[in-house]
Structure 1
Amino acid sequence: MKLVELDLDTVRRTRVVVAGYTGRDEAQVRHHIEELARIGVAPPANVPEFYPMPDGALTFGTDVDVDGDRTSGEVEPVLVRLGGKLHLALGSDHTDRAREAAEGVAVSKACCPKPLARYALACDAAELDAVWDGIELSGLIDGDPYQEGVAAALRPLTQILAALDDRDGTAGEDLVLYGGTVPLIGGDFRYGDAWNFSLTVAEHRLTLDYRTRVRATEGATHG
C-alpha cells in the first residue's frame, strides 16, 4: 500500500455512495435496526443499504457548513475507485440526527457534506482484504474520545463494493464508497464543533480534521 494524494478535481466529480448497516455481525445489525425503529427511523429495504449522495457532497475543507446543531460525524473507511484503481481513504459520514427520525436515513445523510481526507492508500483488492481486520478507526469530538474500533467489525469494503456493483450494474465505474462506522464510546450521539478522525493500518496513519458551523437561517439577526 502506498500513500498518495487524491486528484481532488476528479474525485469531486465522482459518484458518492454511503453504505449503511454494514456490520459483520448480522444479529447486531438486526438489533440496531430494531432500536432505530423504536425511535421512528424506518428500517432499510436491504442489508447492507446504499444511499446515493447528491452532486457536490464531498468536501476537502476544514470548515463544514451544516443546517442545525444536532449533526454528528462518523469515522469511516472509504473506498475510492478511479480508472479501475482502488484507494483506501478516510472519511466522515456527517449526518443530521434531528432529520434522521423525522425524515429518514437517506435525507439525513444527503443533507450534510461528506468530508474526505486528501491522502489515501493506493492498493488492490487482495491487499485491502489482507489488512482489513487490523484497520483501527478512532474519532474525537471537541478533543474528547467519541469513537473507537476496528474494521473487523464491518463487512470488508471489497464485499460491500461487490454488492453495490451487483445491485446497480456499475462495476468498473469511478466511485467513492463510504463503508460504515465503528461504535460510539458510551453509545450515544454527541454534538460539537471540532471533529478529529484517524485510520491506522500497518505503518500508515490517515487523518481527517474539520470543524462544523451552523448556517445562518433566514431572518436571523447578527450582532
Structure 2
Amino acid sequence: MTALSFELPDGTIKNVQVRHLLNAGYAGREQDEVQAHIAELAELGVPGPTTTPAMYPVSPYLAQQVSEVFVQHARTSGEAEWALVITDHDVLLTVACDHTDRELEVHGVAWSKNASPDVLGRKAWRLEDVRDHLDRISLRGWVGQGDTPDTLIQDSSLEALLTPDYWLEVLAERGLNHPGTVLISGTVAMTGGVNQFARSWKVEMTDPVTGESLDVQYVVEQMPQPIG
C-alpha cells in the first residue's frame, strides 16, 4: 500500500495509506465547454466518455510523491490538477500533476491513466481552511525542455473545475469517502502552441488570501528500449 506524507501550514504532518485513487475527467464546471473539448479529442482519435463528468479508478500505488517519472516513450505529458486526500480526521487539498500516456489514450482514457503516476505535492491545506475562497486559488502549470520548467502551459483557477465538495458527495454515494481515498480533480485548458511533451513539469496552486503556495515538480525520464 502506498504511503503519502503531507506537511500542513502549522507544521503538522499527516500520513496517509492510499486505499483508493480516483481520477476525475471532463470535470470542468462549464459542461458546454467540456462537450466542445470532447469533440476536439474525438478528432484526434480519443474515445469520448459515456457520461460527464467521468471518474476513473486508478491503481493506488500510482499516487506518488517523486521528483522523477519514468515513461516508455516520448508522447506522455502531465496535467495541472488539485488532489483531495481523506485522512483520519481531515480532508486535505494539495496540488497534483496527472502524468498521462497520450499514445495509450486513443485506446482508452482509463488505460492511459494507469500507465503513469499521479504526482502529488508534499504540502497541503485543510479543505475547511480554504473552502470559502476556493475559486480564488490559482492553478498553473509549466513545462521545460530541460530540467527546469520555464514555459507556462496552463493558467487558470479552481473556479474552472467542479468543486471538492461536489466530489465528496460522489464519493459518499459510492461508499468511498473514508480515510485513504485520494481523488485527482481533472485538468484545465492547455495553451495552444506549447509543446506538452516536455522534459520537465511543474504545477503550482497559490492562495491569494494567505499568500501561500503549494507546488510539485518533476523531470520525465524515458526508459531504455526493450529487447524482444
Point out where structure 1 has 5 or more consecutive residues left out of the alignment.
Answer: none
Q: Are 1:213 and 2:215 counterparts?
A: no
Deviation string 1:73-107 (CA, Å, 9 cap, x unpaired) is 11101111111411110010110111111x21111
On the 8 A contact 1:129/1:156 being kept in 2, the answer is no
Residues in 1 aligned to 2:52 and 2:71: alpha-carbon distance in whole angstroms: 28
Deviation at 1:182, TM superposition (A): 1.7
- What does 1:76-95 correspond to in 2, within 5 Å? 76-95=81-100
Instruction: Specify whether residues 55 and 123 from structure 1 end up closer, same or farther in structure 2 by C-alpha distance, changes over 3 A only.
Output: closer
Q: Take 1:100 and 1:6, find their aligned partners in 2: how far apart are those partners?
A: 36
Equivalent of 1:34, from 16, 32, 39? 39
Aligned to 2:154: 147
Cα distance between partner residues in 1 of 2:197 and 2:217: 15
- State the TM-score, normalized to the length of structure 2: 0.86
Alignment of 1:183-198 (within 5 A): 183-186=189-192, 190-198=196-204
**What is the identity, as a one-letter code, of the residue corresponding to 1:219?**
I
The match for 2:126 is: 122
Q: Partner of 2:60: helix, strand, or coil? A: coil
Structural RMSD (CA): 1.9
Residue 43 in 1 paired to residue 48 in 2? Answer: yes
Q: Percent identical across equivalent pairs? A: 30
- Secondary structure of the 2:131 match is helix
- The size of the alignment, in residue pairs, is 213
What residue identity is the alignment partner of 2:200?
Answer: A
Q: What residue is the counterpart of 2:167 in the other structure? A: 160
Which residue in 2 is equivalent to 1:59? 64
Higher helix share: 1
1:155-180, CA deviations, whole angstroms, 9 ceiling, x for partnerless residues? 111102212332x2223343111012
Asked if residue 135 in structure 1 is aligned to residue 137 in structure 2, the reply is yes
Preserved CA contact (<8 Å) 2:86 2:177: no
**1:213, CA displacement in angstroms?**
0.4
The answer on whether the counterparts of 1:141 and 1:196 sit within 8 Å (CA) in structure 2 is yes
Opposite residue 121 of structure 1, the aligned amino acid is: W
What is the letter of the counterpart of residue 224 of structure 2?
Answer: A
User: Which consecutive residues of structure 2, in runs of 5 or more, have no partner in the other structure?
Assistant: 1-7, 145-149
